[in-house]
Amino acid sequence: MLNIKFFKKQKLENDPLIDIILKIRQGDTSLKDKIISDYRPFIIQSVSRVVGRYIDPLNSEEFSVGLMAFNEAISCFDEKQNRNFLNFADQVIRRRVIDYMRKNSKLSMEVPFTYFENNDNGSFEEKYLKVDYQTNTDNVEVEEEINAFKNELMSYGISLLTLASCAPKHKDSKQLCIKIARLIAENHELYDKFKRTGNIPMNDLMKITDVYHGTVERNRKYIIAMILIIKSKLEILQGYVRDVEGGGRYE
C-alpha cells in the first residue's frame, strides 16, 4: 500500500505521486485503480471535512462525488502549476462536493443580509455563528465570502459591526443606496475616483444624479459596502443585492 503519511511529508520537495500520475496518464489503468484504492481513506477524510461529519462510503452520495473528483484530479493535475497532487486533489474534491450539496440543498445559499442590521439580537458575527444551516458545507461557503468581504471592508475603515449600525432600515432606503452604489460601480470615472480616494466622489456624483447630498453622506458606509459587493465575485452577497433590488425577502 502507498504510504500517505510519507507523501505528505514530502510535499515541499518533489512529490513522489507526480511520477505515478504521469504513468497513469500514459495508460497504466491498473496503477490508476491502485492509487484510487490506496487513497480511499484520503478521499473519505476530504469529503468528511467538507460535510462536517464522518461519511460512510457505502451509503454516501457525497463519497461518490468525492471519488469522481479524485479521478478528475488525476486527469487534470498539472505538475507545472501544482507542487503537490494531494493538495490539488483535496481542492477538487472540496469544490465538487460543495457544488453537489449546493445543487441538492433545499435551502438557499444566500446569506440574509439583514444579519448586518442593528437589532436586539446582537452583532452579525454573533448571529452568524448561531445560524443553523442545513449542512456545514453551507457554513464553509458563507464563511469564505464573509471573510473576503470583511477584509475588503476593513481597507475602507469599515467593520461589520459598524456596518450593522448604519444599514438602512427601510426597503426604499436600501434600494436607493444600492441604486447609487451601482451607478458608481458601473461608471468608469466614478469608480476609478472611488478606488483612488477610498471615498464616494460626491461632487461628481451630484452632477449626474439628483439624489440629496445628505442621503448619500448619511448612508456612505453602506453604499461603499454595496459598491464592493457589486464589483466583487462574492456570489452569495451579490444575491442579497439582487434580491433587494427586486423587492425580495431581504428588503
Question: Is 182 found in the same domain as 122?
Answer: yes
| Residues ≥6 apart with Cβ < 8 Å to 173 | 219
CA nearest 41: which of 83, 1, 84? 1
Cα–Cα distance between 140 and 131 in angstroms, integer?
13
Question: Is 115 found in the same domain as 95?
Answer: no
Question: Is 117 found in the same domain as 215?
Answer: yes
Question: Is 117 found in the same domain as 220?
Answer: yes
How is 129-167 classified by DSSP, letter by letter? HH---SSHHHHHHHHHHHHHHHHHHHTTT--HHHHHHHS
DSSP conformation class of 109: -
Helix H, strand E, coil C: the string for 54-74 is CCCCCCCHHHHHHHHHHHHHH
Determine the Cα angle at 250 with ends 247 and 251, to 5°: 50
Question: Is 115 found in the same domain as 89?
Answer: no
- Domain boundary residue, one of 104, 127, 157: 104
Number of domains in the chain: 2
Q: 195 exposed, middle or buried (CB, 10 Å; 0-12, 13-18, 19+)?
A: exposed
- Domain boundary residue, one of 40, 75, 104: 104
pLDDT tens for the chain, 251 residues long, are 444 444 444 443 457 788 888 888 888 888 888 898 899 999 998 898 888 778 888 888 899 999 999 999 998 888 777 778 898 899 899 888 888 877 775 333 444 444 444 444 443 333 333 333 333 444 556 667 777 888 888 888 888 777 877 888 888 898 999 999 999 999 999 999 999 999 999 999 999 988 888 999 999 999 999 999 999 887 777 877 887 887 654 44
Would you state the pLDDT for residue 143? 67
User: pTM for the complete prediction?
Assistant: 0.49
Would you state the pLDDT for residue 152? 87
The answer to whether the CB of 244 falls within 8 A of the CB of 250 is yes
Question: Is 29 found in the same domain as 144?
Answer: no
Question: Is 131 found in the same domain as 99?
Answer: no
Question: Is 10 found in the same domain as 115?
Answer: no
Would you state the pLDDT for residue 190? 94
Question: Is 249 found in the same domain as 134?
Answer: yes
Which residue range forms the structural domain that includes residue 220?
Answer: 110-251
The answer to whether the CB of 164 falls within 8 A of the CB of 117 is yes
Would you state the pLDDT for residue 178? 93
Cα–Cα distance between 163 and 181 in angstroms, integer?
15
Question: Is 243 found in the same domain as 132?
Answer: yes
- Domain boundary residue, one of 64, 79, 104: 104
Question: Is 128 found in the same domain as 18?
Answer: no
